[in-house]
Amino acid sequence: MKRIVYLISLLLVLFLTSCEQNPRYSDLDGFWQVRSVEDKASSITGDAKGRLYISFECDLVKLTYYPEIRNKGSLGHEYISSYTVQDGILSFGTFYKYSYNIAKTEKELAPIQEVAAFGIYHQPDAFHLSISKKTMMLENDEVRICLLHY
């Protein structure tokens, strides 16, 4: 009986100590909706109309475009890249088209005109990062991007 109590106690202690947050996670992690993209050169603000999303998880970032509902034939577009955050600067690597076909072995670069809808005009690109619990602002010399935590 003592062995069973000892074993259960040991398992409980191991379980409780293993519930720490992974240090690779950050405030960025999650699903962010692009609310607006302001081009500083032309002073034009593009409204994303709730169809552009950026999601962060560990070291990867995914850009997702969902077409309007009336366009039922398209599933949208997704692009994957790596990212780093250092001294308040968010840096994206090169974006590649995401493929659901696991047999596809070649990476296909994301067309810059498609990624530009998200406010990313260069690959790689870097932004000054300002973040609170529900909002994020990404800004560089060319663009200001406003995101809302979804």
Map out the domains of the chain with their CATH numbers: 28-149 (2.40.128.280)
Identify the residue with better confidence: 5 or 12: 5
Residue 71 near residue 77 (C-beta atoms within 8 A): no
Report how far residue 144's alpha carbon sits from residue 150's, in angstroms, rounded to the nearest whole number: 19
Residue 46: the pLDDT is 67
4: enclosing H helix or E strand: helix 2-17
Tens-place pLDDT, residues 63-112: 998 776 655 555 668 899 999 999 999 999 999 988 766 666 678 899 88
- Any idea which residue has 């990404």 for tokens? 138
Cβ neighbours for 147, distance < 8 A, ≥ 6 positions apart? 32, 33, 34, 35, 54, 135, 136, 137, 138
Between CA 51 and CA 47 the distance in angstroms is 10
pLDDT (tens digit per residue) in 17-61:
655 555 555 778 889 999 989 988 887 666 655 589 999 988 899
Q: What per-residue confidence (pLDDT) applies to 102? A: 64
Residue 9 confidence (pLDDT): 76
Q: 148 pLDDT exceeds 80?
A: yes
Q: How far apart are CA 24 and CA 85, in angstroms?
A: 11
Q: In the 8-state DSSP scheme, what is residue 94?
A: -
What's the whole-model pTM score? 0.74
The enclosing H or E element of 115 equals helix 112-115
In angstroms and rounded to an integer, the radius of gyration of the C-alpha atoms of the chain is: 20
